[in-house]
Structure formats: C-alpha cells, structure tokens
Amino acid sequence: MRWVPFLILVALTALLQRTAGLVLTFSIRGAGSVGPDLLAAVAVFVACRSRAWEDAVLAAWVLGLAVDVTAGGAGVAVGPMSVAYALAAWVLFRIREAFFHERAVTQALLALIFCLLAHGTWVTAETLLGGTGMAWADYGSTMLQAVLLAVYTAALTPLVHAGLWRCRRLVLAAPTVRGARR
Amino acid sequence: MRLKTKWTKRRGVAAALAASAVLTLLGRTASRPLRHAADLLLAPVGAAPMYAATALKGLGRDERTARAGEEQVRRLRQENRYLSYLAGHWKYQHQLQKRRAQELANFHALYRPTSDLPCELVPARVVGTGGLPYTRSRILHTPSRDDIIPGEPVATRLLLTDLSKALPCQPEHLFAVVTGSALVGRIVSAGAYTARLQLLSDRDFQMAGRIRRVIDPSRPRMVTVTEGAAAEVTLTPENNRQIEVIARGDGADGLIVEHVKAYHNVRPGDLLVTSGDDRVLPTEINVGQVTEVRPEAKEPHRVTLRVRPHADLGTLRDVFIVVPLGDAAP
C-alpha cells in the first residue's frame, strides 16, 4: 500500500460523498433517505486487491474512520464504523478467492456483502450505544435504510472500481524489495 | 533492561482497533472535536462541489416543474391578461389610498407594536451533507465567526451582521432553523467556523407548531367549535383558530404531525407554521404545507398529517443563523 496517495484518495472520496452524494441521494417513502456509501466501494476495491490482509484491514479502518468523522449526527460516536469496516474488510479478504472479482456482478455482490456487514454492525452498535442519532424504536427502519444503501452502493461499485482500476498503481503498488535482507 | 519491540502491520491493526474502541468509549468527548476538525478541513474545499451538486439537483427539479406546468402556463397567460386589465383600476385606487396611508403613517409609527425580531442573522453557507443518509444534516460554513452555539435558529437570507458579539450557551435549547421564508431545521452542534444543521425532515427533529387552516370559499368545510357548547359550524375567519401540534421529521423528505383531532377537519393545502411562542424564535414562520391527511388506525377520531416543507431542502445553499438578542437570548 502507498499510504500517502491512499489518504488523499480517502479525503477526496469523503469530500465527494459529502457533496456529490447529495445528487445521488433520494427519498423512498417508508424507508427514508437512501444514498450510496462511496467509501465502502473504495474499501471493497482495496480488500479485493491488496496483497496482505493487514493492508486491507488497515485501509478499511482508515476509510471507516473517515465515514465516522464526516457522517452522522452530533450524538453518534466515532469509532464503531472504523471497526465495522475493518471487520467487513477482513471477511471480504478471506472470501475473495472464491470470487472472480474482475467481473462487475461479482464486485457488486462483494460490495453488497461488505455494506451489509459494515452498516449492519454500525447501526446495531450505535443503537446499543444509545446516541441521539439512533434508537431501538427506529432500528427496523434504519436497518432497512442500511439494506437499501448496500444495494445502491453495490450497484455503483463496478463504476467506482472501473475508475479506481486506472489509478491502482498509485495506491496499491508496493515496493518489491521491502523486507529484503542484506 | 530495554525491551525492543518491532512494529509490524499486525500490531498496527491491533493499535487501530484499540484506538477505535477508546474513541467509542469516549463518545461525544472525542467525536465532537474530531468531527469539527474534519469539518474545518473539508469545509473550504467543499463549497465548490456543493455548489455544483445543489445546482445539479435544482436543475432536475426545475425541468420537472416546467414539464408539469405546461398546461398551467396557458391558463396563467389568460389570468395575466385579466390581471393587466385590473392593474389600471388598482393603480388609481393605489394613488388614492397612498395619500390616506401617508396621513396614518405617523400614528402607526408611534403606537404599533414593534414587528422586528430581536435577533442577529449570521450568514452561513451549506458546504456539505452528512456522509451517510441515516441523518439528514448539512454542514454549515460560517465564514467569520467562531461562537455559534448548538441549537441556534438559522435562516436563508443574506444579511450583514455584527459578528463580534459573544453568545451565551444553553445546549438544552435546540432552537429552530429557518430559511428566508421558512423553517429548515436547527443547529445541533457547532464549532469554529462550522455548524451542523439538522433538517426538518430528520427523524430526530421535533417542533411545536400550529396548523393554519386555509379558507377556500369555493370549498366550505365544517368544523367542531369546542368553545362553549360544542357545535358543528362552517369554518370562517372568525372561528378559524390555529391548531397547536407537535411535528416531527419523517426521516425522508417531510414532516409528520400525529394525533390531530379529526373534527378540526384539516385538509391538504393547510399550512404548518411555527408556534410563535418560542422565546428564541418569537414569530410565526412557514414550515410547510399539509399534503396528506390519514385517519389513524388505533384512534379513528384522530388523523395523521404529512407535511411537505416549504423550503426545498435538497437545494439548500445560503442560510442565516438567527441569534436571539437581548431578553430573547437563551
């Protein structure tokens, strides 16, 4: 992993999520607002293509932290999303060999799994923590939102991956001689 | 004895997860400064993309409106011709009344109650949205002051203000947030140069308001007047009392008002306004329009109202934070 370009990518994606995300967000009656999680799409890309599971988990943790600090209401704690992202990235890293992740359908499926894991965990954690943003009375509807978000993100993930594929060497390429002994 | 530890990625993962656990346990103590730091970092660069995003979103809406209004255009043109004819008549009447009004102006200036709100308007601009759609919030960039407190009302009208005054902080008051002509939400957290605006449609948003029933002479409605002996009468300006309600965000794009007595006969088209009794926003401001009236399943004598906000929350751009002054200050 090249961490400096990766951090720039995270900042740009977070910025895009907070601004252009408005255009992509729409309302469904009975479910509430539904928008994509672009940072999750990046996390899936990294988890599918990083060499070591530590890289995938650390990158996902950084992305989750970016979601934590840029999203959510005032009462929502920072931390659960980074753990949820890291957990989901670890699961994705473990199962990625079972998928041919160059295909768009597979990328969408992996993104769906990732988002369901990460956002499901996050919604549950925030509800348990009892921040002002979440309550058990809204748990069902918030989970429905999370599922719709996962589907929406999954639909957009192949496009995000196509864009990231062009700059993969900037972010993912690792020096080949790292750790070599003299 | 010195203990040598080798830094590995695996330890990095462990440290990261431990940091997350600590941040989670710290809760708001950690989340507020971290979020404000992130807001400060992203707010300046967020203005331009947000401008593009709101413009793009507004463009789509304009197109829809234009397509939907094609038939109305012809009717409006006819109305315009008729109104042009009337304009001449009213111009003469206006001149007549103008002289009379001039005579009364001094009297009004001396004896009328003051209509100005004792408040300061702090201009702010929407520079970002909440990253995830679970809460409907917007990040505000307040260019020249760092003392915005949580809960201050906001409004969207550009106004120069005195920016040097410090504000008393009472976080238990989560005041309303308004645009130039309507309420849009409230400030739920604030830091230096940034503030977080909770929109009306957020499911955690709740406000005291009033339903103002619109009287349409072509569609008279029967209501039950409860003063004195209860009786069913036609709604007139004399008996049209505003109905006090509690409205809350529906989590999507509007508000919900529950448990409204059915005998008030609220209809789509009626207006939801602020109560005017709030000491931090002591005025009546439009909130939205009733779009649907649905009987409640458990209580058939009560209805649930769905309200569409007056302001277009999707294309919200420039707003003002209304800071109460003097006796109205929290």
Contact between chains at B52 and A20 (C-beta distance less than 8 A): yes
Contact between chains at B189 and A82 (C-beta distance less than 8 A): no
d(CA A139, CA A131): 13
Within 8 A of B139 by CB-CB distance, chain A residues are 18
pLDDT tens sequence across A136-154: 767 888 888 889 999 999 9
| A62 → chain B, closest CA residue | B16
Within 8 A of B130 by CB-CB distance, chain A residues are 18, 71-73
pLDDT tens sequence across A11-52: 999 888 888 777 888 777 777 778 889 999 999 999 988 888
Residue in this structure with the two tokens 């009717």, named with its chain if needed: B75
User: Chain B closest CA to A93's CA: distance in Å?
Assistant: 14
For B49, the closest of A15, A28, A77 (CB atoms) is A15
Please tell me the predicted confidence (pLDDT) of residue B152: 42
Residue in this structure with the two tokens 């005291």, named with its chain if needed: B208
Please tell me the predicted confidence (pLDDT) of residue A76: 67
Burial zone of A179 (CB within 10 Å; 0-12 exposed, 13-18 middle, 19+ buried): exposed
Q: Is B45 on the interface with A (CB under 8 A)?
A: yes
Residues within 8 A of A (CB atoms), B 164-193 only: 188-189
**Residue A98: pLDDT band with limits 50, 70, 90:** confident
Please tell me the predicted confidence (pLDDT) of residue A114: 93
**Residue B162: pLDDT band with limits 50, 70, 90:** very low
End-to-end Cα, chain A, rounded Å: 23
Contact between chains at B133 and A123 (C-beta distance less than 8 A): no
For B128, the closest of A19, A35, A129 (CB atoms) is A19
Given a contact cutoff of 8 angstroms between Cβ atoms, the answer to whether A105 and A154 are in contact is no
For the cut 50, the answer to whether the pLDDT of residue B113 exceeds it is yes
ipTM passes above 0.85: no
Comparing C-alpha atoms, which of B156, B257, B145 is closest to residue B193? Answer: B145
d(CA B209, CA B322): 18
Contact between chains at B196 and A74 (C-beta distance less than 8 A): yes
Contact between chains at B34 and A11 (C-beta distance less than 8 A): no
Q: Which of A152-166, A167-181, B195-209 is most confident?
A: A152-166
Please tell me the predicted confidence (pLDDT) of residue B131: 65
Contact between chains at A78 and B136 (C-beta distance less than 8 A): no
**Which residues are CB-contacts of A149 (< 8 A; sequence separation ≥ 6)?**
A34, A35, A36, A37, A115, A119, B132, B133
